[in-house]
Structure 1
Amino acid sequence: MTAITPDAITPDTVRAELHKAADVVSSLAAKLTDADVPAPSALPGWSRGHVLAHITGICNAMARQVEFAARGETVELYDGGYDGRTKAIEMSAGHALEQHRADLDAALERALRAFDSIDASSGAGSWQAPISYRGGVVLDGGLALWRELVIHASDLGTGRGPETWSRHFCEHLFSFLSARVPEDQKLVLQPLGMPPVTIGTGGRSIVVSGMVTDIAAWLAGREPTLGSLRASAAADSVDLPELLPWPSGVPTP
């Protein structure tokens, strides 16, 4: 049985994945119509306009993390913290499609430019330079933006769901979202055709099996699209366990 290990992801991998994910988001936004913006997204209570506004906001927020890190400084992720994030999304969600596209394209370009400019050396401006997001470093910010772009592209509800997520991305989510496993549980993830992965350290062991994308979607709080998930404990079928909240990088009130 394979225990979860830190992601073997290099800065070059992160950079390449960010460009691919940004291309997907941009292409999906380009296919939307004016009527699509106020329509419901895959996220409860959010329209597609809310999702577009959030993607724009997180791109600008992560770009700012990198820009400040290049000067040897740190800055909070969002102006005004979680409340500031929420207010900005609500203010922008109702924008016309043309405005959403302009804002999104500018934010994606800013974020990619920031990560493309990172120095391979150490110190300020490097991938290991400190940022305020989760008390981490620039590489953590790159991984966070990758997650945001890929997951929220599916949240737009345009037909590109979690079944399109790459194995590499799903394996990264297994590692990052291990924080959602309750303390008394240990999950043995059994993706079909892949080695099992164990996350959590509790005494109660639950096996969750299915397609790798369905397992990753469930861990991420999204609807599995292939209908393959099964859970068992001591060889008996059980309900999928309740997970802890998403490990947010923005302190909540």
Structure 2
Amino acid sequence: MTSITPENLLDELRRAADVVTGIAAKLAEQDIKAPSGLPGWSRGHVLAHMCGIANAMARQLEYAARGESIELYDGGYEGRNRAIEMAAGHGLDEHRADLAAALDRALRAFGSLDAAGWHEPISYRGGVVFDGGLALWRELVIHATDLGTGRGPEAWSRPFCEHLFDFLAARVPEGQRFVLQPLGLPAAAIGSGGKSTVISGMVTDIAAWLAGRTPTLGSLRATAAADGVDLPELLPWPAGVPANK
């Protein structure tokens, strides 16, 4: 479904990083403690998390380049949570500096890859470097929306939405099949069960719903056997770090 390649993924990562740093540049000191779009998290938590995942993915690549493997986060999922809580209360200047350093580290790591480097194994999801790049792309784009500064899912690109259709097929419950029908675009089916539901609407609204975010264009409609129905329940987001999430 998605046509993302290592070459255009690197461009997408750079664009996503520019969006995040642009948002951070416009924040005021008091904005850091304000609630984000994620329950229980301030904007400071979201910024800290984006720093953490950027550094974590850079570390995956740095070890992979030496033929070594390392867990995604120091201390695993609990280590991730501790680091976020410790950094969430930092001041604006520290958040900006940490974010700039983490994104620069990650972009340098991805930008230094040759064709073979994208296929080096990493510990994240038992995959390869390309999977890590897709994960960082997801984290930056979605959490830029979670910062709650006015950039909603309606800003997500078609390639990003189509990537989410692929990745979030894991959220389709067993026995169900969703036919995703973005307005004006080809349909895509995810899930392999016998119970079929058609989800129609703008491509960004469908992707936002799959990602557990609020669709912003109000276009979603679900039908089953040609009758209008409620939007189906989704399974949890596929966890990339072992945890009780």
> Alignment partner for residue 6 of structure 2, among 6, 11, 36?
11
1:190 maps onto 2:185 in alignment: no
**One-letter amino acid of the structure 2 residue matched with residue 132 of structure 1:** S
CA distance in 1, matches of 2:214, 2:92: 26
Superposed, which structure 2 residues align to 1:90-109 within 5 Å? Answer: 90-109=85-104
How many residues align structurally?
244
Encode CA deviations 1:144-172: one digit per residue, 9 max, x unaligned: 00111100000000000000000111001
How far is the alpha carbon of 1:119 from its aligned partner? 1.7
Q: Which structure 1 residue ranges, 5 or more long, are not aligned? A: none
1:30 maps onto 2:21 in alignment: no
Partner residue in 2 for 1:74 = 69
Partner residue in 2 for 1:249 = 240
Partner residue in 2 for 1:202 = 193
SS at match of 1:187: strand
Partner residue in 1 for 2:207 = 216
Superposed, which structure 2 residues align to 1:226-241 within 5 Å? Answer: 226-241=217-232
1:54 maps onto 2:49 in alignment: yes
Encode CA deviations 1:212-233: one digit per residue, 9 max, x unaligned: 0000000000000011111011
**One-letter amino acid of the structure 1 residue matched with residue 77 of structure 2:** Y
**One-letter amino acid of the structure 2 residue matched with residue 72 of structure 1:** G
CA distance in 2, matches of 1:232, 1:209: 8
CA distance in 1, matches of 2:229, 2:175: 16
Q: Equivalent pairs: percent with the same residue?
A: 74
CA distance in 2, matches of 1:25, 1:248: 23
> Alignment partner for residue 156 of structure 1, among 147, 150, 166?
147
1:20 maps onto 2:15 in alignment: yes
SS at match of 2:19: helix
SS at match of 1:127: helix
CA distance in 2, matches of 1:28, 1:207: 35
SS at match of 1:227: coil
Encode CA deviations 1:46-88: one digit per residue, 9 max, x unaligned: 1000000000000000000000000011100001111111111
> Alignment partner for residue 79 of structure 2, among 84, 101, 105?
84
Partner residue in 2 for 1:134 = 125
CA distance in 2, matches of 1:78, 1:232: 41
TM-score by length of 1: 0.95
> C-alpha root-mean-square deviation of aligned residues, in Å?
0.8
**One-letter amino acid of the structure 2 residue matched with residue 52 of structure 1:** L
**Alpha-carbon contact 2:3-2:159 (below 8 Å) kept:** no
CA distance in 1, matches of 2:150, 2:63: 37
CA distance in 2, matches of 1:222, 1:74: 33
SS at match of 2:243: coil
**One-letter amino acid of the structure 2 residue matched with residue 173 of structure 1:** L
TM-score by length of 2: 0.98
